[in-house]
Structure 1
Amino acid sequence: MKQDIRDLFREDEVSNHKLPKHHRQEFYEKLKASRPQRKSGLKMNYILKIAAIAVLFIAMAFTVFKMANKTVANEIVNESSLEHQIESIEKEYLASIDKEWGKFVAVANDEKLVKRYKDKLDDLDADYQEISKQFKADNNNILVIEALVDNLKTRLQLLKDIQQHINLLNQKTEQYETINI
């Protein structure tokens, strides 16, 4: 039963049947109608979602920026107030040290004694300058601040001890002078 397929279509009534002239146009119209409609442009719903996301992003960025500025401003205020306190303490101690040194130089008669104490004070001042550099590098370190204050206290105490020693010497000389008179 071998048969040629072409022969089957030749004898078929459908193959001899002619299509109407507008058949092609009607086919295209039906095809377009059966396709899902494509909506042009963005839906309003999507536009509102995008706008809401943009507003949230801007609000969060503004909040973070504002908080960062407050933090930086607080750090600057804290550092500057601490530095001002250290500077005021330093000025008070240095004024007292200069006052005591002036008294010592005015009362002291021995140049060797003045030179010896001047060398000690110069050594303490050099140490103070070194500690001061450390403070500028790390001004939040409490140990450095304590070392600054201790150095100033040591210098002032040294001068007060010298002054007391000279007062004792002067009292002894006055006692000897009164006995000789």
Structure 2
Amino acid sequence: MAQDLRDLLRNEQNDSHKKMNDGHESRFLKKLDDALPEESSIKKRYSVLQLAASIIVLLGLAYGAYMFFQPEENIGNKVVNNNPDSIQEDQLKSLGDISPDLKKVEDYYLANINLELSKIKQTKENKELFDGYVLRLAELNQEYKRLTVELTENGPNELTVSALIDNLKLRLNLLYRLKEQLNDLNASEDSKKIS
């Protein structure tokens, strides 16, 4: 069974000079064209995708250029202003918009502030003391509104959140002091009536 490789190569060279049948190549190419899909549909799909990608890139660049050259004060058709009255109440962010835990803190302080205000009874004797505290509370309330405007415009940061919580604490402490002073005032008046 062993054959000499040299003999095989010589026989192969003699057989390679044989010609193919007439039309063999054309029949092969026809069968190949029938079996493979046309390249033109693939090219059409790629050209449509390239056109769509180009349009998206151009729109993105146009929007980026528009935002870059837009003045800083005019963002999203809203003129930024430091006046707390210029931003509508429904647009203002509160501590509750930042996180649920801060919402609980804010609700706790606001509920206690309203509760203490409802407990205080104003009389002729304590009117002057009461009005002084109410003025201070109004100042703190205005400062709280200014801080919420800052929170809305600049976004949440540690200083603004701390200042808002401190403002609530200060208002509640102020009401506790007012309540204590009113109790002391009432106690001194009661002692005057008894003696």
Instruction: Give the structure-1-normalised TM-score.
Output: 0.49
Q: Work out which of the two has the higher radius of gyration on C-alpha atoms and give 1 or 2.
A: 1
More helix by share: 1
